Amino acid sequence: MENNVIIACDFATKDDLYNFLKPFEGLNPYLKIGMELFYACGPEMVKELKDKGFKIFLDLKLCDIPNTVEKAMRNLAKLGVDITNVHASGGIKMMEAAKRGLAGSNTKLIAVTILTSLDDTALSQELDINKTVKEVVYDYAKNAKKAGLDGIVCSPLEAGIAKELGLISVTPGIRLAGDQKGDQKRVTTPHDAYNLGSTYIVVGRSITGSENPVEQYLKCVKEFGNE
């Protein structure tokens, strides 16, 4: 089923992932593989999932000096994933280097702006940034565009910024009505994300932590206007 709902597969082991995926047979959901599984299972598992036909957003959020990021991206380019990312806070030169590293692959590159677990208070009190989340997302998104990236990771509340700049937005911080927020601060429902103009939504615990993940997934798909 082609749709723009990405499931955040934050599991500890490959067995946990495959057990989770069993009831999804035939639905072929878009998967986000992040640090937890990648550090546990490595690139082989990502290749295996691609061979099985899954679309993959490899969410490793690279942030280092340009030379290191370019070389790391050269290795990630070989995996054939659909989307991968860097932190926009690494700067324009780093984002350009990441893009060079992916040259020759079809992998889209996006930049994480401000984590959805942070809010205005955390920016000023912990990170010494005296601007609002929205202002920083706007500045970082402009940098991502300058560096030639395809889009940004942001909360749906800032999806309009991506749209305005002609970038795609991949938006975590999604909760179905009534679900726990957990560590996320800026959350919206799939329905609101759709109305706010998100290109993709990333949903983790609202699906993976539920008694009936397929039902929750299909709810997200429906609410996100895909059906």
Return the active site residues. Answer: 61
Element containing residue 120 per DSSP (H, E) = helix 120-125
| Shortest Å distance, C-beta 206 to ligand C5P | 6
**Size of interface with ligand C5P, in residues (CB under 6 A):** 18
Does 202 contact ligand C5P by CB under 6 A? yes
Q: Which is nearer to ligand C5P, 12 or 103 (CB)?
A: 12
Does 95 contact ligand C5P by CB under 6 A? no
Sequence-distant (≥ 6) Cβ neighbours of residue 57 within 8 angstroms: 6, 30, 31, 32, 33, 81, 82, 83, 84, 85, 170, 200, 202
Q: CA 183, CA 169: separation in Å to the nearest integer?
A: 21
Does 116 contact ligand C5P by CB under 6 A? yes
Q: CA 73, CA 98: separation in Å to the nearest integer?
A: 6
Q: Which is nearer to ligand C5P, 58 or 174 (CB)?
A: 174
Give yes or no for a contact between 149 and 189, defined as CB atoms under 8 angstroms apart: no
| Shortest Å distance, C-beta 173 to ligand C5P | 6
Does 66 contact ligand C5P by CB under 6 A? no
192 token code pair? 């609101």
Residue ranges in contact with ligand C5P by CB under 6 A:
8, 10, 34, 59, 112, 115-116, 153, 172-174, 182, 184, 202-206
